Each structure stands twice: as structure tokens, then as C-alpha cells.
Amino acid sequence: MLALFGKCLLGSAAVLMIALLSKSKSFYIAGLVPLFPTFALIAHYVVGTERSMEALRETALFGLYSLLPYAGYLLAVYYFSYRFSLVNTLSMATAVWLSSAMILLLVWTRMMQTV
């Protein structure tokens, strides 16, 4: 239970940092906060303690590939922000992320089945 509370604190600290930075003169730094590996650290610790080091390496490699949907999301936000409202921009960018994440999962699972 204490570990779950600690994870909640990490998440809320990230949200607080984003909120504070978005109001500052350096508002763009708020875009860096979600990239701090808070949840990756938790995931890697859990995988590393419950599975093998090979599983940890596979998780890290998949994490590298998962940057592709995130890059697609950011490119979509940048592109759509010139043409649409905030809500439409974020909705369409989320759809880009979801579709590219689904493609990534399909490709990854097929790749891992052949190995």
C-alpha cells in the first residue's frame, strides 16, 4: 500500500510541475516534464524485480520504439494547431497517437512471435 501511495505522489508531483511551469516565463519546459522517466522507472523496476534482465532489455527496447507514436503526436499537435481549435487539435493528435500505437503493437507482437 505504501508503494502505491509513493507512485501516486510521483504522478501528482509531475502534474504540479507541469502546472507551475506552464504559468512561468519558461512555459515550454512544461513539455519536458512528461518525458522525465517517472513511470518508466516504475515499470522498469517492476519488470526488473518480477522478470528477467532479458525482459527488462525487451521493455527498454520497446520503450525506444514507443517514442515513434509520441513523435507522431507532437508533430500532429504542431501541424493541427495552425488549422484547428485547441480541442480539435488535441483530439486529432490523440487519434494519431492511438493509431500509431496500435500499429506499433501489431508490428511488435508479430516481430516477437517470429523470434
pLDDT tens column, 49-93: 999 999 999 999 999 999 999 999 999 999 999 999 999 999 999
Indicate if the alpha-carbon torsion angle 2, 61, 95, 28 is positive or negative.
Answer: positive
Q: What is the mean pLDDT of the chain?
A: 91
For the chain, which residues make up each domain, given as ranges?
1-36, 52-115
* Confidence class for position 30, pLDDT limits 50, 70, 90: confident
What are the C-alpha distances in Å from 48 to residues 8, 30, 41, 95?
A: 20, 29, 10, 32
pLDDT given for residue 6 in this prediction: 80
Helices 53-65 and 38-50: angle between axes, nearest 10 degrees: 150
Q: Residue 1: is its pLDDT beyond 90? A: no
How many residues does the structure list for the chain? Answer: 115
Q: Which amino acid, residue 26?
A: S
